[in-house]
Amino acid sequence: MKALKPLLMSGREVLPLVEGGKGVAVSNGESSGAWAAAGGVGTFSGVNADSYDESGHIIPQVYHGKTRRERHHELIAYGIRGAVAQARMAHERSNGQGRIHMNVLWEMGGAEAILHGALEGAKGLIHGVTCGAGMPYRIAEIAARYGCHYYPIVSSARAFRALWLRAYQKFRDNLGGIVYEDPWLAGGHNGLSNSEDPQRPEDPFPRVLALRQMLNSFGLQAVPIIMAGGVWWLSEWEDWLDNPDLGPIAFQFGTRPLLTEESPISMAWKRKLLTLKEGDVFLNQFSPTGFYSSGVKNPFMLELMARSERQVAFLPKPVGEHAAEFPVGPRGRPVYLTETDRQRAQSWVAQGFTTALKTPDSTLVFVTPEKAEQILQDQIDCMGCLSACRFSNWSQNEEGTTGKKADPRSYCIQKTLQAVSHTDDCENQLMFAGHNAYRFASDPYYAGGFIPTVKQLVER
């Protein structure tokens, strides 16, 4: 295989190996610092990052505010304190090697406030900011203000063109690179557009080539593209190295660093990764963000799938075939279904799914009373962790709402990601993963349950 050549990123020559910045305590200062110490770019998550007390124990993110707006302000304070703590830890662990980046989601609640607070509080310790999940127009301006490089995450040349023409061309010198994230293979939230078929993955090479050609047209030939999603062994990407058509290329590893000694996830989660089979990672639209996302098909995901399958369309008044009366709610107020759907609904009720919840799409989903109570409580407890949440109908606008009904087909993403990150429960919580995660089980490198250090993985 070709030797890896150093690449200039965030002001320093580093190995073209980037740790993906997985959210909510999954990529932290310890893992990112170790990645930087090995000569690459370590990335900690700035999404509800952990902070610590004087004894070094994680401070639980408990909310005391009576309103969503009050809890939203608490969340921002937690986010800033946590991001600064992780940046300092990463800086210490890096031993002055590599580069340290922070990853944020543009559509996370309080994104701009957290960015300003973190970059001010950890000034000089964060060399770059990666940002996706939406169209982060203002990330360039914010990064430049603190002398930092920015790395937008896109899934098409068209998306970058819009960002460049609207905002980024004013901050050319701070553009550190562009992360191309494969919308079919990457873990977490994916950038599939309405014109792309989630069931028909596309070859990344033509898409990245189109991105490079667009960069060249803007005079950005020296700006590296970071290939993310579906990267396992670099030997499988050898034709991308030193390819004059692609220009400078780096590779981002998101799923692989989960299975390292420095990874903060539980041993239960690590052992789970070693058992996955092909197809166990599922591209779905259950996320309250509205984006597609890739997660492990565990009981948590299977319940969401089953919940949405127990669903029928209704009308408030009888019209056409929707003439079969069906009582809903404690008072048994009637809605109208087709006769076929009425029979399906009655069968679900007979199985114990006796509570019908209305969705924003004028459908009913059928759940157990216990699940209905949990859904309602999670919606009430919302702390505004997203800029707009379809599950709770929170929005960080002046009204504090999306203006739509809360959607019971989704879930509280903050609650489940905090749980999977800080407990051993990886069955009944959301487990994000890239679609190559099944390769842990068959890759000889992990034979016998071997878990490498970050240094060993980077060297390998």
Nearest CA-CA partner of 395 in 404, 387, 385, 403:
387
Specify the pLDDT at position 135.
Answer: 85
End-to-end CA distance of the chain: 12
Backbone angles phi, psi at 320, to 5 degrees: 55, -130
CB 113 within 8 A of CB 80: yes
How many Cα atoms sit within 13 Å of 65 on the Cβ side?
Answer: 17
Specify the pLDDT at position 358.
Answer: 96
Specify the pLDDT at position 197.
Answer: 87
For every residue of 203-252, DSSP letters joined together read -HHHHHHHHHHHHHHTT-TTSPEEEESS---GGGGGGGTT-TTT-SEEEE
What are the structure tokens assigned to 334, written together? 């009637």
CB 22 within 8 A of CB 254: yes
Cα dihedral: 290, 292, 296, 300 (round 10):
20
Nearest CA-CA partner of 29 in 113, 126, 124, 153:
126
Q: Do strands 281-284 and 292-296 pair parallel, antiparallel, or not at all (unpaired)?
A: antiparallel
How far from 249 is each of 179, 190, 239, 394, CA to CA, in Å? 10, 21, 11, 39
Q: Do strands 128-132 and 149-154 pair parallel, antiparallel, or not at all (unpaired)?
A: parallel
CB atoms within 10 A of CB 376: 14
CB atoms within 10 A of CB 3: 6
What is the SS3 assignment for 298? coil
| Residue 260 DSSP label | S
pTM of the model: 0.94
Specify the pLDDT at position 146.
Answer: 96
Specify the pLDDT at position 196.
Answer: 85
Nearest CA-CA partner of 417 in 45, 4, 18:
45
Domains (range + CATH), the chain? 10-275+440-459 (3.20.20.70), 299-422 (no CATH)
Specify the pLDDT at position 385.
Answer: 95
Residues (pLDDT < 70) of the chain are none
Nearest CA-CA partner of 20 in 249, 294, 254, 250:
254
CA distance 169 to 172: 5
Specify the pLDDT at position 53.
Answer: 94
Give the list of residues 6+ apart from residue 150 with CB closer than 8 angstroms, or none.
Answer: 128, 129, 130, 131, 139, 140, 142, 143, 144, 171, 174, 175, 176
How many Cα atoms sit within 13 Å of 177 on the Cβ side?
Answer: 30
CB 241 within 8 A of CB 217: no
What are the structure tokens assigned to 405, written together? 């009904």
